[in-house]
């Protein structure tokens, strides 16, 4: 083992002990708890070098050392593997999420599961409409001149619109089938923006008898696709866990709790969901808000296939179980993605 490798092993041991005990870590305890294979004097020298590099610091005289944000970053970046989830944790995720009945239920169950498993504040963003693709548009005749449109998106979101066509319009099975085929031919599999653009040209070239019908249906669908009310919605659970960690923040936890009531703040904390659902960790001052400089955020994008439609994650003190938290966030994100993929 090289000197650099040994010092990284000492840093890893300090992080693990500090997370487990909540107490500054001394050289003697490191030698006793971890098989570092060197003398206490060598460990002290390694700790001095780590402190000089800004990876650990001494909170007060005669105390042991605790990791800095930079130290946590090095620890996270050099994680070879994430802590494996127990069978009980995996069962808890699958059994709880499998019972979801719709998108709202999926989000609410996901945020509660994340909070309970990590003992941190969990945040789940609702799937973003603008990133969704159209899966299918169904047209159902409610009456000869009344039509129900059902828009099904890749996010699992379903929008319904009723179109009254007027007394002179009479829908028979043939016209309805042709209308359904035309709509899905240009919109299915397309992102919302592209689908709206394609639908806008759908009535071009349509015979006069069907032009008004097509235009009325297209207007209703475009209106449904342009409804961005949910784009900024998030679900939050476990704020009480943040309060329990109040002793680990240099300032009062109240401003953090108040700030977390703002959805825009929570969305910025989560950051942009990556296109491939990559796991991200932002530690302390790496985040966008000074109020949250004593917290870390572990987040992941989620969505069907490799198309991340939104983000989910947890917020907690920088002194958190990073391997366990990262494994849980990744597992929940993947499970929710599969649910949306099968929807």
184 & 314 share domain: no
10 & 67 share domain: yes
295 & 211 share domain: no
User: According to the model, what pLDDT value does residue 158 have?
Assistant: 85
153 & 73 share domain: no
17 & 66 share domain: yes
CATH number at residue 176: 3.30.390.10
User: According to the model, what pLDDT value does residue 327 have?
Assistant: 93
Greater confidence, 38 or 113?
113
Task: Give tens-digit pLDDT for 39-69.
Answer: 888 988 999 999 999 999 988 877 789 999 9
Q: Is 315 within a domain?
A: yes
The whole-angstrom separation of Cα 110 and Cα 88 is 16
Whether 309 shows a pLDDT value over 90: the answer reads no
Per residue in 284-300, is it b (16+ CB within 10 Å) or e — as a string? Answer: beebeeeebbbbbbbbb
The whole-angstrom separation of Cα 10 and Cα 27 is 9
User: According to the model, what pLDDT value does residue 55 have?
Assistant: 96
Task: Give tens-digit pLDDT for 107-158.
Answer: 999 999 999 999 999 999 888 776 778 989 999 988 888 899 999 888 777 8
User: According to the model, what pLDDT value does residue 290 have?
Assistant: 80
329 & 205 share domain: no
Question: Domain tally for the chain?
Answer: 3
112 & 239 share domain: yes
Enumerate residues 6+ apart whose C-beta is below 8 A from 207.
Answer: none
204 & 337 share domain: no
120 & 154 share domain: no
Averaged pLDDT, 72-79: 93
Task: Give tens-digit pLDDT for 226-249.
Answer: 764 445 688 999 888 877 765 555
Whether 104 shows a pLDDT value over 80: the answer reads yes
58 & 142 share domain: no
* CB-based contact 157:150 (threshold 8 Å): no
96 & 237 share domain: yes
Boundary-marking domain end, from 177, 196, 225? 225
Averaged pLDDT, 171-193: 89
Whether 326 shows a pLDDT value over 90: the answer reads yes
User: According to the model, what pLDDT value does residue 250 have?
Assistant: 52
| pTM for the structure as a whole | 0.76
Confidence of residue 277 (pLDDT cuts 50, 70, 90): low
CATH number at residue 322: 3.30.450.40
Q: Is 8 within a domain?
A: yes
Enumerate residues 6+ apart whose C-beta is below 8 A from 167.
Answer: 145
Q: Which domain holds residue 153?
A: 131-225
Per-residue DSSP letters for 172-212?
A: -HHHHHHHHHHHHHHHTT-BHHHHHHHHHTTTTT--HHHHH
Boundary-marking domain end, from 206, 225, 244? 225
Enter the DSSP assignment of 92.
Answer: H
Ramachandran bin of 169, using left for φ above 0, alpha for ψ from -120 to 50, beta for the remaining angles: beta
Confidence of residue 272 (pLDDT cuts 50, 70, 90): low
């Amino acid at each position: 083992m090289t000197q650099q490798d040994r010092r990284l092993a000492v840093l890893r041991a300090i992080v693990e002990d500090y997370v487990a005990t909540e107490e500054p870590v001394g050289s003697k305890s490191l030698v006793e708890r971890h098989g570092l294979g060197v003398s206490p004097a060598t460990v002290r020298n390694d700790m001095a070098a780590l402190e000089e590099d800004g990876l650990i610091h001494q909170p007060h005289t005669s105390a042991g050392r605790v990791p800095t944000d930079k130290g946590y970053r090095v620890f996270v970046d050099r994680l070879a593997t994430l802590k494996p989830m127990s069978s009980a944790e995996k069962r808890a995720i699958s059994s709880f999420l499998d019972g979801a009945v719709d998108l709202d239920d999926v989000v609410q169950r996901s945020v509660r599961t994340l909070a309970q498993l990590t003992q941190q504040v969990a945040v789940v963003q609702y799937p973003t409409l603008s990133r969704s693709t159209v899966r299918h548009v169904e047209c159902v005749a409610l009456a000869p001149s009344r039509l129900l449109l059902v828009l099904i998106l890749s996010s699992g979101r379903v929008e319904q619109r009723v179109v009254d066509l007027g007394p002179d319009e009479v829908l028979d099975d043939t016209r309805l089938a042709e209308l359904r085929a035309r709509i899905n031919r240009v919109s299915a599999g397309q992102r919302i923006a592209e689908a709206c653009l394609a639908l806008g040209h759908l009535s071009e070239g349509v015979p006069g008898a069907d032009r008004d019908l097509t235009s009325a249906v297209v207007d209703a669908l475009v209106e449904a696709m342009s409804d961005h009310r949910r784009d900024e919605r998030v679900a939050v659970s476990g704020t009480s866990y943040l309060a329990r960690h109040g002793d680990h923040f240099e300032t009062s936890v109240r401003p953090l709790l108040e700030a977390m009531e703002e959805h825009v703040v929570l969305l910025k904390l989560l950051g942009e969901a990556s296109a491939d659902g990559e796991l991200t960790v932002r530690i302390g001052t790496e985040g966008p808000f000074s109020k949250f400089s004593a917290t870390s955020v572990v987040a992941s994008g989620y969505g069907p296939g490799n198309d991340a439609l939104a983000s989910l994650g947890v917020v907690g003190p920088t002194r958190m179980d990073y391997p366990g938290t990262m494994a849980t966030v990744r597992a929940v994100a993947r499970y929710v993605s599969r649910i949306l993929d099968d929807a």
